[in-house]
Amino acid sequence: MVADFPAKPVGADPMKTTFLAAMLAAAAICLAHGDARADSHNPDPVEKALLKIEADLVGALVRSDVAVFERHFGDTFSFIGPDGTVQNRAEWVADMKSGALKMASSANDEFKIQVHGNAAVVTYRSTDKGTYNGMDISGQYRWTDVFVKKGNRWLVVSSQGTLIQKK
């Protein structure tokens, strides 16, 4: 049995129907993209603050400026290196002070930021040229940094890196 429906609902305005369909499609796209911002050129103030910290840290990495890391790392900071080694804050800072970690250059891109109240996760890619204990560690890495807001400051409490294998 085939139902015979009218071509358009009785009393329906085709412009309103088209507008409603377009609005529903736009809403579905926004929901599918989660917390995506309509204006990507105007990031959230928290995102700006986290990106500034990441920029400060990469600059300090190349300059071997330990004070910047001491300012931005939480007391319980934990580092998991690309080789799986785990270091606490004091061990990581000691490697920087001793010159065990030397970076000639480092550049970050492909940032993704998730903010969850007083916690945030920042993932990104780095392109690095440097050495660790005399071994070349140059390459591209994926990083995950976890931040916690203490008072009015964002602190890095964990950082984990993975070497991107060359294809």
Instruction: Identify the CATH number of the domain in which residue 104 sits.
Output: 3.10.450.50
Whether 89 is covered by a domain: the verdict is yes
Provide the mean pLDDT of the chain: 82
pLDDT in tens, 40-93: 556 799 999 999 999 999 999 999 999 999 999 999 999 999 999 999 999 999
pLDDT at 3 over 90: no
Whether 18 is covered by a domain: the verdict is no
CA angle 45, 79, 110 (to 5 degrees): 45
Whether 31 is covered by a domain: the verdict is no
Decide if 141 contacts 82 (C-beta within 8 A).
yes
pLDDT in tens, 106-162: 999 999 999 999 999 999 999 999 999 999 999 999 999 999 999 999 999 999 999
Q: Which domain holds residue 94?
A: 45-163
If 0-12 CB within 10 Å is exposed, 13-18 middle and 19+ buried, where does residue 50 land?
buried
Whether 139 is covered by a domain: the verdict is yes
pLDDT of residue 114: 98
Whether 96 is covered by a domain: the verdict is yes
Decide if 55 contacts 99 (C-beta within 8 A).
no
* CA 87/CA 73 separation, integer angstroms: 13
If 0-12 CB within 10 Å is exposed, 13-18 middle and 19+ buried, where does residue 3 land?
exposed
* CA 111/CA 122 separation, integer angstroms: 7
Whether 54 is covered by a domain: the verdict is yes
Whether 153 is covered by a domain: the verdict is yes
Question: What are the φ and ψ backbone dihedral angles of 158, each rounded to 5 degrees?
Answer: -155, 145
Domain count, the chain: 1
Whether 19 is covered by a domain: the verdict is no
